[in-house]
Chains A and B, each alone.
Chain A
Amino acid sequence: QVQLQESGPGLVKPSQTLSLTCNVSGGSISSGTYYWSWIRQHPGGGLEWIGYIYYSGSAYYNPSLKSRITISVDTSKNQFSLELSSVTAADTAVYYCARDRTGYNAFDIWGRGTMVAVSS
């Protein structure tokens, strides 16, 4: 049974870079058909797709965040990561990592989510 677990600081200062890692257990991140994704949810709000990455390193980003995002994968550690630069209070959210089973928007396994607050 594949499980995902997010990790990273819960508090980031404005203008700094938010860094999160998603550890994949119970299966290989290099399994061919899956895309590994980051999705966030603002307090009391809807879901926002951040981007996803294939094990080969090909990444796709939300155009509205593209200039500030880097998603990377480390197959040796079976994990993938998110960096979001120049954060503001608007980036305060619960951040989820998720597996896309098809590469076409079918997020079938999710981490529990990690709350990240941006505040000085």
Chain B
Amino acid sequence: QSALTQSASVSGSPGQSITISCTGTSSDVGDYNYVSWYQQHPGKAPKLLIYDVTDRPSGVSSRFSGSKSGNTASLTISGLQAEDETDYFCSSYTSSGHVVFGGGTRLTVL
């Protein structure tokens, strides 16, 4: 399958909200509510932020929220903080029973 499409970069000022989008197809993002979002700091393993489109694992800040419309999923980070500056990846379960990731978005906090 092709990777999900994410914008390469996004930026925002401290305290603001930003949204990262993730576009797939009717065979993945559009077909199931099984979209996840990960945060990855340099040299570290990814951290699960959101799963099943909107659910947050225990311990993840409520500043992170997820949504989906059609074939596009979104991650919103509210109250931006300097520590949020890093890479974010989306992923989706597919109709073939596999998993596909997005190419990643680099968030810059201005």
Contact = CB atoms under 8 A, between A and B. Distances in A.
B79 to A, nearest CB: 24
Interface residues of A, number: 22
Given A47-B89, A60-B98, A106 B36 contact: yes
Contacts of A108: 48, 51, 57
A63 B34 contact: no
B46 interface: yes
Interface residues of B, number: 27
A62 B8 CA distance: 24
A101 B35 CA distance: 13
Residue from B1, B34, B52, B98 whose CB has the most chain A CB atoms within 10 Å: B98
A47 B93 contact: no
Interface string A17-55: 000000000000000000000000000001111001000
Nearest to B103: A46
B18 interface: no
B51 A46 contact: no
A15 B46 CA distance: 30
Interface in B88-110: 89, 91-93, 96-104
Interface of A: 46-49, 52, 60-63, 96, 98, 101-102, 104-108, 110-113
